[in-house]
Amino acid sequence: RKRNHGYDLLAIKPGHVLRIEIKAHLREAKSVFVTQNEWQQSRQQNGLAADDRWELWNVENLAADAGMVRITRYPHLPDEARTRESGYWVDLNACHSESAR
């Protein structure tokens, strides 16, 4: 976090790099706040080789009484999902998702 890379986790194995931005919520979330730096990283990394990716992971239901924890992966944030310019609130309904298991 101190270096402000635009992602929270960096996963590397031979031939693959994955940069993961994690948003965590006690309950269900319909939108998340993405900083300008995180948005730029999503654009920069996903414009590179297919083996170098940036993804948003939305983690929901972390409250003890909220039910089963759900992790949804968003490998691409479309421009139409942005709603504000000081950073970006991203409408997750406008994004394609992948379920993490």
CA atoms within 13 A on the CB side of 77: 30
Supply the pTM of this predicted model: 0.76
Q: Report the distance separating Cα 17 and Cα 47, nearest Å.
A: 13
Q: What are the pLDDT tens digits along the chain (101 aa)? A: 566 788 999 999 888 899 999 999 999 999 898 888 898 888 876 666 678 889 999 999 999 999 899 999 999 899 888 876 666 778 888 888 876 65
